[in-house]
Structure 1
Amino acid sequence: MKRRDFITGITIGSTFLANIPYLSNASAHAHEKHKQKELKSDIVIVGGGLGGCAAALAALRHGLCVTLSEETDWLGGQLSQQGVPPDEHQWIETHGAPASYRAFRDRIRTFYKRNYPLTTEAKQRTHLNPGDGSVSRLCHEPRVAVAVLLEMLMPYLSSGKLTLLTDYRVIKAAIHQDQVTAVLVKHRHEDHELTLNGHYFIDATELGDLLPLTGTEYVTGTESKKETNELHAPEVGKPENQQAFTMCLAMDYQQGENHVIDKPEQYDFWRDFIPKMVPSWSGKLLDLSYSNPRTLQATTLGFNPTGEATNKALNLWNYRKIINRHNFLPGAFGGDLSIMNWPQNDYFLGNLIDVPPAVYAKHLKAAKQLSLSLFYWLQTAAPRSDGGEGWPGLRLRGDVLGTADGLAKYPYIRESRRIKATFTILEEHVGKENRGLVAGQSAASKAADFFDSVGIGYYHIDLHPSSGGDNYIDFSSLPFQIPLGAFLPIRMKNLLAANKNIGTTHITNGCYRLHPVEWSIGEAVGLLSAYVIRKKLTPHQVRNDQQLLNDFQRFVRKEGIETNWPNAI
């Protein structure tokens, strides 16, 4: 793979989808080491996940110049670099997400229908699901998401309105009078730095990386019941108590072949590991038994990579399957493709937020070792229905994720730093039971109405085991609105949140953290940036002035964003 300084193409394996210089003197810059460069645009977006891409597309549609930087060489965040097929609600095909998100999903289906040897039946299927994974109505390969996002951004790359920086990590920020004036990004492989200037700065990173660099007030981990009065909040808050993260991997199955990997370095540890710090866990972590998220009762899962039904409730192989070979002409795929993102490879022995680099590296390595150990266990020791052990035909597919080690480029992040926001979403706003208690009922039927709603979304409140020893916290929420105030820091004037770093709590993050909601947040933030720049306002002014807010809400609705759920759902 060639090293790059100024390339807009996204590297996939050893080939480029595109290779278009976005600076006219790019070749000269490539040889100027140790010399800081400067780029100017209307808005600077740090983080190329779904929120960052949606923010960029929205701003670009309205004529702004945008710089979008991404730490890895893939756009798409949790959908691509993290290897997680979309987690969505049951109404996603018709409403409950912006029109642009549904158009993105349609483009993914079109990509398959245009480029892949689908069967006639699959090609004619309106709601094609390439993998037929049970987790989503649209399970697909991470690289297809990268290709489609780049295709959507390509006109703006060609016009020069968009500057795309891949493999750049933010390292510093300059602040003046509660405003960000510039951020410094550094190439991950080259000794090269760039100063990015803009009117507005959008933190769309996976961990809220801009918040500590800019001095923006934020929280992490669990808040106490005294702080939030939430039904499921603990009595004592713990900033270091954060949800597990996961190193996903991709695999296929070649029956009759042997693809057993070398025994992972930490396999003996993980093979014998019992998460005693997590109450009610069913036994060893590397096992087909786990704690049911709702009841915490021991639940046995099935695993059979042939795709055949098991006598268990769920065949893990089918759960996040991204290619069902039967949707394609014979010979197109030698086997199905599936993603490992299961309870057994959630890593909760430490955090990635606000820790020294050595600790970060330690936990990242351990999380990778956990996933590889689970894979090796499946190959060599997992029980089969015929009484045997192991599936040696399982094959690690790093090419699917664009890596040499078979693991995702970036950990799947469930919890970020969260801004101290102008408005914080609490469990009483969206939790079915908690909201009912506030109203004097056993359960509510409608989430809170936010006067500043700029989007809608839905997912149940889903918290995975945490580094502080919590087991699953999983319970019903209600179809909710997305309030503008949650994007706005209490103090900073030109920094906006556009990922899992918005003003939620540890509890409500559990339903605002998934794919379509992240896109919704990013698009609303991109439109807000365009609106305030055009009208020479500030974001806080828009929220605080009812006339301006009404005008902005009309603007976002014209863009295909629903601000209220239909009554009949």
Structure 2
Amino acid sequence: MSTPEPTVTADVAVVGGGLGGVAAALAAARAGATVVLVEELSRVGGQVTTQALPALDEHPHIESFGASAGYRAFRDTVRAHYGGTANPGGGWVSRLCFEPAVAGQVLDATLAEAKVTVLTGRSPVAARAEGGRIHDVTLTDGTVLAAAVFCDATERGDLAPLAGFATVTGSEGRDAHGEPDAVPGAPDPAAQQSFTWCALVEHHPGADFTGPAPARYAELRHRLSFDIAGWDGGVHRYRMFTDGPDGRPPFWTYRRLRATAPELAVLNWASNDCAGYDPIGDPAGAERAGRELTAAFVHWLRTEAPREDGGRGFPGLRLAPEAAGTADGFAEAPYLRESRRIVVERPVTGHDLAPVPGRARARHLAGSLGVTWYHVDLHERTGHPDPVYRETAPFTIPADVLVPRGAVNLLAAAKNLGATQVAAAAYRVHHGEWAVGEAAGALAARAALDARPVGAVRDDPAFLLAVQRDLVAAGVPLAWVADVPPDDPRFAAVHLAAAHGAVEGERAADLAVEPDRSPGPEDLAALRRAARSLGADPSLVDPDRALGALMEDIVR
């Protein structure tokens, strides 16, 4: 049977236009590849646009280090739109809260400047693959997309299974890796986390936008409250516009996105956290339930939420379709906390991210293509209602968890990376998704332009090093280093050496590596191991030279 001829071709095709997809497309284009970015919805941006959640979840060092030049440029451009205001919305959950329209403008302009071809309103429906190689992907409008390398950045991890690659959903189970936060026993694919269908609301004091009770309001009413069960086992109590009874900041400013009148906030709270459904296998049913729950929450806020003056309800809350970019003020798509995850030889587990006594970083994972950091943030899972908040240490993105088992030209580029459910819950937030996508995009471009299989990053040390050099040249950190910024001429050398284990000696105890200080005995041993990993002569490690100079010596 004849196959359709490709109608769109590129070096790299990124399928899925969330933050991971955008970052992948930008990284691949920056590396010199021709890039097509496909998004099923009306706009790119995912969490910060169509999911109406532009209150960035990030690590505590984001303002000073631990972010790529590309991610920092995104944040800086958003702030420039607001005249340099550090946190335009003033939401207390994040250092940077802003409006979805601004995010869309910034991302569209950045992609256009990078000459990325963007196709919206289309999603993959079929993939023609053989021997681990995807030849082309057919989209919903009949477009046939061909590329040397494909990146799966879809919200649910759709492309990998379409092309015949194995994926997992839900929990691997505690028996698989001994993770204490996995569900007990064997794998449970149904144990997916709750999701949220966000909505944007404005506050108009004195107005009344109350309407009839929505569907299932009486059934859902018992779930609706300002109070939430805390990760610490207690109940956290909040009020609408003032500090709560136990001193917690106001509900309204939690994820406030606009601080000028009319103020704008996104509803993403425990009360509209929708659990017990299957947003991957039954998206229509799950999404209907998610919208019903958020509609009930809006009605409760307008009519029954306790006021500071002793009354009930805030009728001046108006759903904001203009801000959401939709007809009704609800997000265009749900905020999903997990997707299908690719199967790899060895997934990242919760153990890999855990704090280690005497170390400032999580355990060293070979083949780093980037950094990110967030706690393990597991919301209620179907059949397992208890949430999990687990501290982690700063961690990295190892190259091999982007490559599906058996893949020749497919990479994971979002929260579908090869990680367990527990570990993926720390990678999934805004900065993590961007960092994963950026790593995948750089790898995709190098594989496409050099005509190499993507698995070479796992099997060929020279190819891995070439990808890592591409990344550091673009200002992407490969290790957690607090005191060597991108404008330091030693940035590339320090991060390449650190990614190969050069800070696994005395320097492991602190994120500052003090490049001008001489190495100790354990540092010298780590530098020699890093030299071997980099293909350099370990005898280059001169104990009389400073650490930074030695790092430059072994990566030349």
- Structure 2 length as normaliser, TM-score? 0.83
Counterpart position of 2:127: 173
TM-aligned CA deviation for residue 108 of structure 1: 0.6
Q: Is 1:296–1:472's contact at 8 Å kept on the other side of the alignment?
A: no
Counterpart position of 2:12: 43
Unaligned runs of 5+ in 1: 1-34, 114-122, 187-191, 273-284, 326-332
Q: Partners of 1:241 and 1:344 in 2: how far apart?
A: 20
Counterpart position of 2:245: 311
Is 1:199 aligned to 2:148, yes or no? yes
Counterpart position of 1:255: 205
Counterpart position of 1:367: 290
Q: Partners of 1:179 and 1:392 in 2: how far apart?
A: 56
TM-aligned CA deviation for residue 524 of structure 1: 1.2
TM-aligned CA deviation for residue 39 of structure 1: 1.1
Q: Is 2:369–2:399's contact at 8 Å kept on the other side of the alignment?
A: yes
- Give aligned pairs, total: 478
* Counterpart pick for 1:542 among 457, 469, 476: 457
Deviation per residue, 1:169-193 (Å, 9 max, x gap): 211111111111111111xxxxx32
Deviation per residue, 1:444-466 (Å, 9 max, x gap): 64301112001111101101112
* Counterpart pick for 1:291 among 223, 229, 250: 229
TM-aligned CA deviation for residue 134 of structure 1: 0.7
Counterpart position of 2:344: 421
Q: Partners of 1:196 and 1:164 in 2: how far apart?
A: 12
Is 1:210 aligned to 2:159, yes or no? yes
TM-aligned CA deviation for residue 547 of structure 1: 2.8
Deviation per residue, 1:34-56 (Å, 9 max, x gap): x9972111111110111111111
* Counterpart pick for 2:299 among 371, 376, 386: 376
Provide the secondary structure at the position in 2 that maps to 1:82.
Answer: coil
Is 1:233 aligned to 2:233, yes or no? no
Runs of 4+ aligned residues of structure 1 deviating over 6 Å after TM superposition are none
TM-aligned CA deviation for residue 156 of structure 1: 4.2
AA aligned to 2:184 is E
5 Å matches for 1:120-519?
A: 123=84, 125=85, 128-157=86-115, 162-186=116-140, 192-236=141-185, 237-272=187-222, 285-293=223-231, 295-304=232-241, 308-312=242-246, 313-325=248-260, 333=261, 335-355=262-282, 360-432=283-355, 436=356, 445-519=360-434
Counterpart position of 1:282: none
Q: Is 1:41–1:197's contact at 8 Å kept on the other side of the alignment?
A: yes
Q: Is 1:223–1:505's contact at 8 Å kept on the other side of the alignment?
A: yes
TM-aligned CA deviation for residue 539 of structure 1: 1.9
AA aligned to 1:413 is L
Q: Is 1:512–1:518's contact at 8 Å kept on the other side of the alignment?
A: yes
Deviation per residue, 1:36-81 (Å, 9 max, x gap): 9721111111101111111111111222211111011111011111
Q: Is 1:55–1:523's contact at 8 Å kept on the other side of the alignment?
A: yes
* Counterpart pick for 1:65 among 26, 31, 34: 34
Q: Partners of 1:422 and 1:41 in 2: how far apart?
A: 29
TM-aligned CA deviation for residue 314 of structure 1: 2.9
Provide the secondary structure at the position in 1 that maps to 2:337.
Answer: coil
TM-aligned CA deviation for residue 289 of structure 1: 2.1
AA aligned to 2:235 is A
Q: Partners of 1:533 and 1:167 in 2: how far apart?
A: 26
TM-aligned CA deviation for residue 97 of structure 1: 1.6
Q: Is 1:422–1:488's contact at 8 Å kept on the other side of the alignment?
A: no
Q: Partners of 2:269 and 2:129 in 1: how far apart?
A: 41
Is 1:102 aligned to 2:72, yes or no? yes
Q: Is 2:177–2:349's contact at 8 Å kept on the other side of the alignment?
A: yes
AA aligned to 2:361 is K
TM-aligned CA deviation for residue 429 of structure 1: 0.7
Provide the secondary structure at the position in 2 that maps to 1:319.
Answer: coil
Provide the secondary structure at the position in 1 that maps to 2:455.
Answer: helix
Q: Partners of 2:138 and 2:463 in 1: how far apart?
A: 33
Q: Partners of 2:366 and 2:106 in 1: how far apart?
A: 34
Q: Partners of 2:425 and 2:32 in 1: how far apart?
A: 34
Provide the secondary structure at the position in 2 that maps to 1:200.
Answer: strand
Moved more, 260-269 or 450-459: 260-269
Q: Partners of 2:462 and 2:138 in 1: how far apart?
A: 37
Q: Is 2:31–2:470's contact at 8 Å kept on the other side of the alignment?
A: no
AA aligned to 2:386 is N
TM-aligned CA deviation for residue 87 of structure 1: 0.5
AA aligned to 2:250 is N
Percent of aligned pairs sharing the same letter: 36
Deviation per residue, 1:2-42 (Å, 9 max, x gap): xxxxxxxxxxxxxxxxxxxxxxxxxxxxxxxxx99721111
Counterpart position of 2:504: none
AA aligned to 1:492 is A
Deviation per residue, 1:349-407 (Å, 9 max, x gap): 2011123xxxx322211110100100100100011121110011111112111111211
- Structure 1 length as normaliser, TM-score? 0.81
Q: Partners of 1:506 and 1:538 in 2: how far apart?
A: 27
Q: Partners of 2:313 and 2:341 in 1: how far apart?
A: 42
TM-aligned CA deviation for residue 542 of structure 1: 2.4
Deviation per residue, 1:140-182 (Å, 9 max, x gap): 001111100011112344xxxx321111121111111111111
RMSD across aligned positions (CA): 1.7
Provide the secondary structure at the position in 2 that maps to 1:470.
Answer: coil
Q: Partners of 1:80 and 1:411 in 2: how far apart?
A: 11
Counterpart position of 2:59: 89
Counterpart position of 1:526: 441
AA aligned to 1:223 is E
TM-aligned CA deviation for residue 470 of structure 1: 2.5
Deviation per residue, 1:286-335 (Å, 9 max, x gap): 01222102x2322222222xxx444341311111001111xxxxxxx3x2
Provide the secondary structure at the position in 2 that maps to 1:507.
Answer: helix
